[in-house]
Structure 1
Amino acid sequence: MLNKSKVIISGLLAMGVIHTSYAFTSRPYSEVINCAKEGDLICQTEVGIAYREGNGVKQDYVKAKEWFLKSAKRGENNAQYRLGALYYMGWGVKQDYFKASEWFIKSANQGNVYAAHAIASMYYYGRGIERNKTKSKEWFTKSCQGGVSDSCQILKEAF
């Protein structure tokens, strides 16, 4: 039997919630705010990350959500993934696993392997969406093929 804590922790790891190896930007807030205001999708996502992390600005999950939402609505998959993480964790928003799953699926469908891992975990436990081990395995497989070693490990242990 798969250790539930391991799946949840690896999901949080994949979401960049409890580690930062999936860093999206190293540019300072002062460098990206102007292009974000001009509507650049990547800059908007970077500003959201700055607010989420408190990098160059005071940490503010509500503002992070606002910036992620601007680019997520226009299809930027990293913003969709990070918006899903905010809903999953309840940071700056009311915790909502269903909304988290919607954003993760949008991002994963565009090839974000970390979002694929997150949605696989949600399907595995039925968190926010109906439990479905077949879909869970499909998403873990996509994530594993994309290089997420935690997904590969879960596939070996759970399926």
Structure 2
Amino acid sequence: MANSKVGLARLCVSGLLLCISMSAATQSSASQTHPIAQQLFIQGDELIKQDQFTRGISLLEKAASKGHAQAAFELASLYEAGLVVEEDTRLAIKYYEMAVRKGYRDAHFNLALLLSSPFTPNNDLSRAREVVEVIADQGDIEAQFLLANLMKKKLHDAPSKPGKAFYWLQHAANSGHGKAQYQLATEYMKGLHVSRSAKTAFKWFNRAAMQNVAEAHYNLALMHEKGDGVAQDMAKAVEWYESAAELGSVNAQQNLGLKYLAGEGVEPMPRQAIKYLSKAANSGSTESQLLLAKVYQSGYQDLIKVDLINAETWFLRAARKGVAEAQYELALMLRDRNDSEGAELWGRRAIAGGHLAAAKLYQ
């Protein structure tokens, strides 16, 4: 067995695999478990750590059959991931259900995610919602957030329930869940299942921003820039763009790069422009990759010098991701340095991507 799978198996038995979160206070404690079941679990755990998987799994199964919730949870995780044992969704569901009946918190999450997946045989979105609602009703904000998203989904005969989704999203947001606050703000901003209210959206974006949700910072920047839900203030917009960019928002990085490049609302600062555009490009934004390539290819208002090596590097990165314009420009650069084979390769790919100028070039 590969070392990586052995390591994952050990993680699983330590309760670290496939969990949304883990809190000892919310799980079934050993004191609530039959002493024999607890001993079987400890022995099985130790055997698996020693790579004695068959014996370890057998003891975990015995512990689970005697009502040991964590043993059932670990077995379910192993069967779901196909570690140590053959992957078996049916057995994973069986053991998750056993753990759920014993009140094991993380089993509720894992079972719901498994049952709500379109790739799970005999999936059951209605059951997934029921499983999560048990702990959502108990005030678990992660469960409330997950339940809100499960209510948005539809699968087979289970329709989406936007009203209930909004209800649980509000609960999670009011309880301080950052991502729920961001989603709620977005619904008010777009007027989804609720009357549009930019002011209410602004309030919830602010709350999410306080929890360092990057896209909340970005949306606050947009709102300040446009004067939507708040007084227009370009200086504050730039502050929010910068904080969003530092938190990893690719949208903010690209917008900020463009602003520093063009001097829109800020002094033109080419180094800052390149810094933020490079961050976005390195995060995978093909738009930023293409923009950087063109800036280096032609220079920019005597502020950024022509750099054909960097231009080709960024055209190549975007071209490899299927950007037809980058493929075309790369073909031209290669043709100019007499690399006819490389030029034709990228030119043909640009044609396949629907680039009209490339089609004329290689008629």
TM-score, scaled to structure 1:
0.69
Higher Rg? 2
Shift of 1:156: 4.3
Q: How much identity, in percent, do the aligned residues show?
A: 26
Question: Unaligned regions of 5+ residues in structure 1, if any?
Answer: 1-24
Match of residue 249 from structure 2? 76
Shift of 1:52: 3.3
Shift of 1:34: 2.4
Supply the distance in 2 between the matched residues of 1:89 and 1:58 (Cα, whole angstroms): 23
Question: Unaligned regions of 5+ residues in structure 2, if any?
Answer: 1-182, 190-197, 335-363
Match of residue 17 from structure 1? none
The correspondence of residues 134-153 of structure 1 with structure 2, limited to 5 A, is 134-153=309-328
The amino acid across from 1:101 in the alignment is I
Q: Is the 8 A contact 2:212 2:247 kept in 1?
A: no
Relative to structure 1, is the Cα distance of residues 116 and 52 closer, same or farther in structure 2, using a 3 angstrom cutoff?
farther
Relative to structure 1, is the Cα distance of residues 147 and 49 closer, same or farther in structure 2, using a 3 angstrom cutoff?
farther
The amino acid across from 1:144 in the alignment is A
The amino acid across from 1:136 in the alignment is A
Match of residue 104 from structure 1? 277
Relative to structure 1, is the Cα distance of residues 147 and 66 closer, same or farther in structure 2, using a 3 angstrom cutoff?
farther
Relative to structure 1, is the Cα distance of residues 59 and 118 closer, same or farther in structure 2, using a 3 angstrom cutoff?
farther
Supply the distance in 2 between the matched residues of 1:81 and 1:120 (Cα, whole angstroms): 14
115-124 or 144-153, which moves further after superposition?
A: 144-153
Shift of 1:96: 1.7
1:1-42: CA deviations, max 9, x gaps? xxxxxxxxxxxxxxxxxxxxxxxx993251423212332112
Q: Is 1:41 aligned to 2:214, yes or no?
A: yes
Supply the distance in 1 between the matched residues of 2:294 and 2:230 (Cα, whole angstroms): 32
Supply the distance in 1 between the matched residues of 2:329 and 2:257 (Cα, whole angstroms): 21
1:123-146: CA deviations, max 9, x gaps? 112234432112212212222333
Relative to structure 1, is the Cα distance of residues 124 and 58 closer, same or farther in structure 2, using a 3 angstrom cutoff?
farther
Relative to structure 1, is the Cα distance of residues 66 and 111 closer, same or farther in structure 2, using a 3 angstrom cutoff?
same
Shift of 1:89: 1.8
1:85-105: CA deviations, max 9, x gaps? 111121221012221011111
Match of residue 292 from structure 2? 119
Supply the distance in 1 between the matched residues of 2:246 and 2:275 (Cα, whole angstroms): 12
The correspondence of residues 50-89 of structure 1 with structure 2, limited to 5 A, is 50-89=223-262
Number of residue pairs matched by the alignment: 135
Relative to structure 1, is the Cα distance of residues 58 and 40 closer, same or farther in structure 2, using a 3 angstrom cutoff?
same
Supply the distance in 2 between the matched residues of 1:66 and 1:124 (Cα, whole angstroms): 30
Instruction: Give the superposed CA RMSD.
Output: 2.6
95-104 or 52-61, which moves further after superposition?
A: 52-61
Match of residue 45 from structure 2? none
Supply the distance in 2 between the matched residues of 1:145 and 1:61 (Cα, whole angstroms): 36
Supply the distance in 2 between the matched residues of 1:148 and 1:65 (Cα, whole angstroms): 29
Which of 1 and 2 has higher RCO (CA within 8 Å, sep 6+)? 1
Shift of 1:113: 1.3
Q: Is the 8 A contact 2:289 2:317 kept in 1?
A: yes
The amino acid across from 1:152 in the alignment is Q
Shift of 1:157: 4.6
